[in-house]
Amino acid sequence: MDSSTLLLYFDDEQDSASRLAAAAKFPMAAIERHRFPDGELKLRLPEQLPSKVVLLRTLDKPNEKLLELLLVARTLRTMGVADVTLVAPYLAYMRQDIAFRAGEVVSQRVIGAFLADLFDAVITVDPHLHRVATLGEAVPAKRPVVLSGAPLLADWIAGQRPQALLIGPDEESAQWVGQAAARHGFDYAVCRKVRHGDRQVEIELPVVNVQGRPVVLLDDMASSGHTLVAATQLLIAAGARSVDVAVTHALFADNAIEIIKNAGVGAIWSTDCVLHPTNAVTMASAIAGALIT
């Protein structure tokens, strides 16, 4: 076991931390957390720390977690830790990368600079980048590292639906669908999406024959589920034998699972970047590989 690096985690991510610590062969320790009656947080770190610390914190429901990162990272520095890595399997606030109207906050720019100021390295999985080509542009840390859940999801799909046709629900999903398809020689295509709001989208199917075929919709994330619903309804109407869903980040807000299932989706599979009952694939070994190289 490499005792020169310590993995720190919060109690709500203990299972994920255990998988990562086992894969990386790092010792692990929990950050104690107490909430005062007025809602303020009190955090306590281990008294003895090595020179290198890895902090695991996935950033779904991110607002309070970002405050936790600030408190922990600044305290680690005062305690003499020289190298601090953030492992954020899901990285929040990446989609807003441009101001569409005067006065809009470009959250990617603000949060990216915030994280780069706190951490020497930031490791994440399939960040939701649009007009920015690299993680380093969004999060200008010394060592920005991007991993992908697509290859591991492809392995899972190959075991569950070996003859699957992979469909990306919109143009942005093309990079992940292409990776997954190449790994196992799946046929694939990508839909066209027109968004009219957070919960209102129009989908246009690609020119591909889905009649009688098992289809898997694959994307980096699912939140409201409305894009998946629209694509599923069109695929079923076009004669698909079955429609399943595979995503890296299982955000699934409100009743998203219910509406996706009601649309006709069979199985829903996700990585463990965000803790969810649909988790089927763990990213622990891939993240460990990035930590120890």
Judged against a pLDDT cut of 60, whether residue 143 lies above it is answered with yes
The predicted-structure confidence for 213-268, as pLDDT tens digits, reads as follows 999 999 999 999 989 999 999 999 999 999 999 999 999 998 999 999 999 999 99
Residue 148: per-residue pLDDT: 97
Number of domains observed in the structure of the chain:
2
Judged against a pLDDT cut of 70, whether residue 170 lies above it is answered with yes
186-210: average pLDDT: 81
138 forms beta bridges with none
Mean pLDDT, the chain, rounded, equals 94
DSSP per position, 38-106: TS-EEEE--SS--SEEEEE---SSHHHHHHHHHHHHHHHHHTT--EEEEE-SS--S-S--S-SSTT---
- Whether 187 is covered by a domain: the verdict is yes
The predicted-structure confidence for 125-135, as pLDDT tens digits, reads as follows 999 988 888 99
Judged against a pLDDT cut of 70, whether residue 197 lies above it is answered with no
- Whether 118 is covered by a domain: the verdict is yes
Measure CA 131 to chain center: 18
Verify that 137 and 171 share a domain, yes or no: no
Verify that 19 and 140 share a domain, yes or no: yes
Verify that 122 and 37 share a domain, yes or no: yes
CA distance linking residue 40 with residue 66, whole number of Å? 14
Residue 254: per-residue pLDDT: 87
User: Tokens in use for 15?
Assistant: 């299972």
User: Which domain CATH number covers 137?
Assistant: 3.40.50.2020
Highest mean pLDDT among 10-19, 169-178, 191-200 belongs to: 10-19
Judged against a pLDDT cut of 80, whether residue 194 lies above it is answered with no
Verify that 176 and 105 share a domain, yes or no: no
Verify that 35 and 143 share a domain, yes or no: yes
Verify that 189 and 70 share a domain, yes or no: no
The predicted-structure confidence for 243-252, as pLDDT tens digits, reads as follows 999 999 999 9
The pLDDT > 70 percentage for the chain reads: 97
65 is catalytic: no
Residue 172: per-residue pLDDT: 86
Verify that 115 and 160 share a domain, yes or no: no
Verify that 130 and 232 share a domain, yes or no: no
- Whether 59 is covered by a domain: the verdict is yes
Residue 198: per-residue pLDDT: 54
- Whether 98 is covered by a domain: the verdict is yes
Judged against a pLDDT cut of 90, whether residue 200 lies above it is answered with no
Catalytic residue, chosen from 25, 65, 142, 193, is 193
74-98: average pLDDT: 96
Verify that 63 and 134 share a domain, yes or no: yes
Verify that 135 and 161 share a domain, yes or no: no
189-208: average pLDDT: 78
- Cβ burial of 288 (10 Å; 0-12, 13-18, 19+) is buried
Residue 222: per-residue pLDDT: 94
- Whether 277 is covered by a domain: the verdict is no
Rounded to two decimals, the pTM is 0.94
136-142: average pLDDT: 96
Residue 195: per-residue pLDDT: 64
Verify that 38 and 140 share a domain, yes or no: yes
CA distance linking residue 113 with residue 32, whole number of Å? 27
Domain with 15, as residue range(s), is 5-148+282-292
Verify that 162 and 60 share a domain, yes or no: no
The predicted-structure confidence for 54-76, as pLDDT tens digits, reads as follows 999 999 999 999 999 999 999 99
Q: Which of 14-28, 30-44, 185-199 has the lowest mean pLDDT?
A: 185-199
How many alpha carbons fall within 13 Å on the CB side of residue 182?
A: 8
